[in-house]
């Protein structure tokens, strides 16, 4: 390797040491080891270290075709140590600030959406449903009133006919009355049979 390549490689490894320190603290901050099962922690740790190793090797491959030297390991440790000594507290404070701002922004966004969109839409829908229910109740009440009025008018209109039929029934001969009663009984029997058949048919359809 040329001198410039060695210098760039050392700078890259120092930078990767800093990046590794940042990644490790970020990973530890979000992992919360005490709150997770050991098997999950082991899997996450294994995945983290594999990804870090692959990333470091990839950077090393870009700057010097993947050649490993002992001073590169020392440069990596130098970057990590520098982060731990100089930047760790600053980065953790910055990370907590970013998380706090993100949480507050999320809470504010939720409040804005709830107060400006969800609640107005919900109130409008409830109002529309109330109006529809009120109109339906009013319509049903109007229909019931019309039906009662029509029944009353029909009773008044048919009352003279009822009186006329009663008078005719009184003057009819007994033989005619017997014939009428006979056919009335038959018609009533037919009506009962049809009604029973319809009920049984409806019952069988429900079972199917």
pLDDT tens digits, one per residue of 47-69 = 988 998 888 888 888 877 767 77
Instruction: Please give the angle made by the CA atoms of 155, 160 and 164, to the nearest 5 degrees.
Output: 130
CB 29 within 8 A of CB 90: no
Mean pLDDT of 132-159: 89
Alpha-carbon distance of 194 to 189, in angstroms, equals 9
Count CB neighbours of 80 within 10 A: 20
Structure tokens at 30: 């979000």
Domain housing 42: 3-100
Number of structural domains in the chain: 1
pLDDT at 142: 92
Q: Which pLDDT band, with edges at 50, 70 and 90, does 184 fall under? A: confident
43 pLDDT more than 80: yes
Closest residue by Cα to residue 58 from 104, 98, 19: 19
pLDDT at 135: 93
Averaged confidence pLDDT in the chain:
84
Is 206 a member of any domain?
no
Alpha-carbon distance of 131 to 120, in angstroms, equals 16
Alpha-carbon distance of 16 to 51, in angstroms, equals 13
1 pLDDT more than 60: no
Is 32 a member of any domain?
yes
130 pLDDT more than 70: yes
pLDDT at 2: 66
Is 189 a member of any domain?
no
Mean pLDDT of 117-126: 91
Is 188 a member of any domain?
no
All residues at 6 or more sequence positions from 76 whose CB lies less than 8 Å from its CB, including other chains: 13, 14, 16, 17, 20, 56
Is 149 a member of any domain?
no
Mean pLDDT of 11-37: 86
147 pLDDT more than 80: yes
Is 194 a member of any domain?
no
Mean pLDDT of 71-99: 89
Q: Virtual CA dihedral for 189, 190, 195, 201, nearest 10 degrees?
A: 130
Mean pLDDT of 148-163: 84
């Amino acid at each position: 390797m040329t001198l410039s390549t060695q210098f760039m490689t050392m700078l890259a490894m120092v930078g990767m040491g800093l990046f590794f320190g940042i990644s490790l603290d970020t990973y530890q901050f979000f992992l919360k080891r005490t709150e997770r099962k050991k098997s999950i922690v082991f899997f996450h740790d294994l995945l983290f270290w594999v990804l870090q190793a692959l990333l470091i090797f990839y950077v090393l491959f870009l700057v010097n075709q993947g050649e490993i030297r002992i001073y590169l390991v020392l440069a990596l440790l130098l970057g990590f140590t520098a982060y731990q000594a100089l930047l760790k507290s600053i980065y953790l404070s910055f990370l907590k600030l970013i998380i706090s701002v993100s949480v507050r922004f999320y809470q504010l966004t939720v409040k804005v959406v709830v107060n400006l969109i969800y609640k107005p839409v919900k109130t409008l829908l409830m109002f529309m449903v109330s109006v529809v229910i009120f109109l339906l109740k009013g319509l049903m009440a109007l229909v019931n009133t019309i039906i009662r009025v029509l029944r009353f008018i029909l009773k008044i209109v048919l009352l003279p006919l009822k009186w006329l039929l009663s008078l005719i029934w009184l003057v009819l001969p007994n033989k005619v009355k017997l014939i009428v009663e006979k056919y009335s009984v038959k018609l009533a029997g037919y009506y009962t049979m049809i009604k029973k058949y319809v009920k049984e048919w409806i019952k069988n359809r429900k079972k199917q």
